[in-house]
Amino acid sequence: MDERDENSNRKTFEMLSEESGLAIAVVDNHPREVYVSNNNSICRTLNPDGKFSPACAEYCGKALEMTAQSGGTVAFECHAGLECRAVPVKNPNTPLVAIVGRTFVRSDNYRRATQRSMKGDWRKLAPAELFDNVLMSASPATLDRTARQVEELIANARSQKKAITVKTDAPIRTTPKEISNVVERFNREIRRDTPPTGEPEQIRVEQVVEAIPEAPPAPVVAAPVAERRSPQTQAWRSFFGSLLKSDYSTACETILDFVGDRFALKSLVWLDRHDNRLENTVAIGDMKNRKIRLGIAADDHRLIEAAESEIPLSLGERSGTTKGVRTMNLFPIGVGDEISAAIAVLDTLDFAVKTQIVKVCRSLAPQIEILRLRFEVKEGEALTLAVKRFGQNLKKIDSDDFWLRLLQSSAEMMRSERASLLIHNDRSEKLDVKAVVGVKEWTKNNGEIGGRVARLVFDKNKAVAVADVTKTGLPPANPERQYKTKSFMSCPISIGDRAIGVMNFTDKPGGETFNRSSIDLFQAIAPQLAVAIDRASFKHKAGELAQISVTDSLTGLLNRRYIEARLAEEIKRSNRHGFPMSFMMLDVDHFKSYNDEFGHPAGDEALKLVGAVIRDTLRGADVAARFGGEEFSILLPQTTAEEALAIGERIRHNIEHANFQHRLVTVSIGVASCSAELCVSADLVSAADQALYESKRRGRNRVLSFEEIGGRRNV
């Protein structure tokens, strides 16, 4: 193949890649990429120089081998969850294979990629590069169709022994490269004068294809672009082209404004999926500041069928006025068989408008998922940093003003000028006010705090965020309280499934409202709050619970009974919410000889100092306990294995350099972390103990993880 042939084929590959919204990569037998068009940014980041990483080498790196064994095109899904088609390329000089796709087809694969970036093996990669151009296809049919086009291109070139090129006197596409084929298909459909038939749609290439140098021109398969593009079409293209340049929340609002203006609608709501529920996050027109409660789950078969059949789901909606019952048309948005969002319209719609809105939702789905992914990664990074800072602030809180400082730190985190903290009193069965911020003076004359909302939140153990309290039907607050805004949030504080208190927040600066994101932020710090409050409560009850004391009398740390109970609760939380969690076992090296040489009183003093060093080294949410004898254990909520090893190393170093009275004292530490396979109390303790044993066997005064020693669950 000469240089002219190679360049012309590359132009055609680029055209197919642009048209389909998929990546097309050509790989040789080394293996390495020799050409790629519209590459998925995940692939580009994992293989920056075109040479495959070990993980990618098992898939794209073996694509040539797979096609040689099968004798034709092979479909595969790689380790990143990307769907691909490998098409063999007969080349007289070097064996080649064309890899078509590199796209997400299933939403669960897409979600796993997000988790790998935030908490898994991709967390060290820059999210801005990793998700810069994420490809997503509506269905495997797009991949199969594009793979067939590549097969035909290769077959034609081989049979004619000539290269295929494309005239470039008209642009291939006017939308940005990252806009998917779904958008392009929508733009073609919107230009048609009649609705599409039930026949399978064929890709229309708006160019002239010819052979070089002497073959007769191929027929034009579509009318010239200039004759077919109307001002309306150009407006659609401009709108879709701008979406990926905005953030997720702005895009949702922009879409509602666009649909409202385009179809003269007055009542529209954007619904986002949260915990298998569709909740309104943005609204325009008559629906602004109104709460919508849907009677169906996000995974309800009716929503999935509506998305597949491209017919909106009609629901009865009682408006609460004399107008009686109105019809809500729900237009699902999703990728594959998972609904992630929806547009709700309460205006009266005819069939033509419904059809157009369905096309909008279908076309938007891949872009919305890409924006959502970017948003989740960005929010995840910000949330991790905020939670870390919050934990550092908790550590600085002393016992004298514990409740007030705890509430002040929480209110600062939630950007709330006024807040209250209520703790359940097991004897009186009431919520006792522990602290209030943002109020100069509070007395019973101001009314009982928590009487309107907090008690309901506590009993149901479920957080609530309200944008406008006047529209909830709640009794009005005492005017003496002088609230600045109408928005508030009330959140339970729980240990396991047991609520122990409630925090209330209101009066955000600038009149901002509390929403679902506010609840998510609070739930991220809730485990640390629960641990801090639980410890404070146990210390307060120490005298009453003398027979079952949770505190070790020698070191002042918690005891084994407490740590085992807390470990079980944190494992439940980790399994339920996917939070990372680690557990650490620590043993004082050669402690028996220390006792034998210097006496047991000296040994007790050494253990006290070890306990003090551990307590001073840990963060506010961490829980340390004396497990027994010279053995200690540490529970590290929301802590990855890598972070746990770093904490363990700090503890080991600080103990080694502490000023013990008689001689140097060191410790050996074993670490185990929750995973999909290892997140049961007994397994986690046993795994940490195995790592501790191996640490002592390898010479003591070191930190080892269960994963490092190649541990196997033999419990």
Per mean pLDDT, which range of 56-70, 244-258, 323-337, 539-553 is the poorest?
539-553
For residues 122-135, average pLDDT = 78
Please state which architecture CATH assigns to domain 246-378.
2-Layer Sandwich (3.30)
Stated pTM of the model: 0.42
Per-residue pLDDT at 94: 79
Helix (H) or strand (E) holding 383: helix 351-395
Asked which of 96-100, 313-317, 548-552 is least confident by mean pLDDT, the reply is 548-552
Q: What is the pLDDT of residues 608-657, one digit of tens each?
A: 999 999 999 998 888 999 998 999 999 998 888 999 999 999 999 999 99
Is the pLDDT higher at 505 or at 674?
505
* Confidence (pLDDT) at 182: 39
Asked whether the predicted pLDDT for residue 593 surpasses 90, the reply is yes
pLDDT tier, 547 (very low <50, low <70, confident <90, very high otherwise): very low
Give residues with Cβ within 8 angstroms of 315, minimum separation 6: 294, 295, 296, 327, 328, 330
Residue of higher predicted confidence among 303 and 186: 303
- What mean pLDDT value characterizes the chain? 77
What would the pLDDT profile of 420-450 be if each residue is shown by its tens digit? 999 888 778 888 888 898 876 554 444 556 6
Which residues lie across from 268 on neighbouring strands?
Answer: 284, 345
Q: What is the mean pLDDT of residues 272-294?
A: 77
pLDDT of residue 378: 67
Confidence (pLDDT) at 214: 31
Q: Do the first three CATH levels of 402-533 and 546-705 match, i.e. the same topology?
A: no
Q: Residues of the chain with pLDDT > 70: what percent?
A: 76
pLDDT tens per residue across span 387-403: 777 777 776 666 667 88
Which residues neighbour 495 within 8 Å (Cβ) at sequence distance 6 or greater? 530, 534, 569
Of the candidate ranges 235-244, 417-426, 575-584, the one whose mean pLDDT is the lowest? 235-244
- The residues spanned by each domain of the chain are 3-227, 246-378, 402-533, 546-705
* Closest CA relative to residue 132, chosen from 117, 147, 144, 112: 117
- Residue 161: per-residue pLDDT: 53
Amino acid 450: pLDDT? 65
Question: Which of 16-25, 240-249, 487-496, 589-598 is modeled with the greatest confidence?
Answer: 589-598
Q: Pick 30 or 532 by higher pLDDT.
A: 30
Among residues 280, 277, 231, 283, the alpha carbon closest in space to that of 259 is found at 283
CATH class of 546-705: alpha beta
pLDDT digits (tens, 9 = 90+) for 348-367: 898 889 988 888 887 777 77
pLDDT of residue 231: 56
Residue 513 has pLDDT above 50, yes or no: yes
pLDDT of 135 > 60? The answer is yes
The residue that leads in pLDDT, 228 or 467, is 467
The per-residue pLDDT for 196 is 38
Q: Name the more confident of 314 and 131.
A: 314
Terminal C-alpha separation, the chain: 62
**473 or 200, which is more confident:** 473
Most confident of 48-52, 317-321, 690-694: 690-694
- Residue 648: the pLDDT is 95
Give 597's pLDDT tier (boundaries 50, 70, 90). Answer: very high
pLDDT at 656: 94
> Quick one: pLDDT at residue 400?
63
Q: What is the dihedral of CA 73, 75, 78, 84, to 10 degrees?
A: 70
Task: Answer for the pair 75, 53: CB distance below 8 angstroms, yes or no.
Answer: no
Q: Please name which of 690, 552, 691 lies closest in space to residue 626, comparing C-alpha atoms.
A: 552
Q: What is the rounded average pLDDT of the residues 219-246?
A: 52
pLDDT tens track for 46-74: 998 888 999 999 999 999 999 999 999 99
Q: Find the range with the poorest average confidence among 120-124, 139-143, 187-191.
A: 187-191
pLDDT above 90: percentage of residues in the chain = 25
Predicted confidence band of residue 372 (pLDDT cuts 50, 70, 90): confident
Q: Give me the DSSP letters along 326-343.
A: EEEEEEEEEETTEEEEEE
Q: What is the pLDDT of residue 227?
A: 36
If you write DSSP's letter for every residue of 59-121 in order, what string do you get? TGGGHHHHHHHHTS-EEEE-TTS-EEEEEEE--SSS-EEEEEEEEB-SHHHHHHHHHHHHTST
Residue 167 pLDDT grade (very low, low, confident, very high; cuts 50, 70, 90): very low
382 in helix, strand or coil?
helix
Catalytic residue among 18, 19, 376, 630: 630
| Superfamily name with CATH number, domain 402-533 | GAF domain (3.30.450.40)
Rounded to 5°, angle at Cα 175 from 170 and 176: 115
The answer to whether 643 is a known catalytic residue is: no
* 102 compared with 163, residue with greater pLDDT: 102
Q: Looking at residue 471, what DSSP letter applies?
A: G
Neighbours of 12 (CB within 10 A): 21
pLDDT of residue 126: 78
| Confidence check: pLDDT of 340 > 50 | yes
Q: Select the more confidently predicted residue: 161 or 412.
A: 412
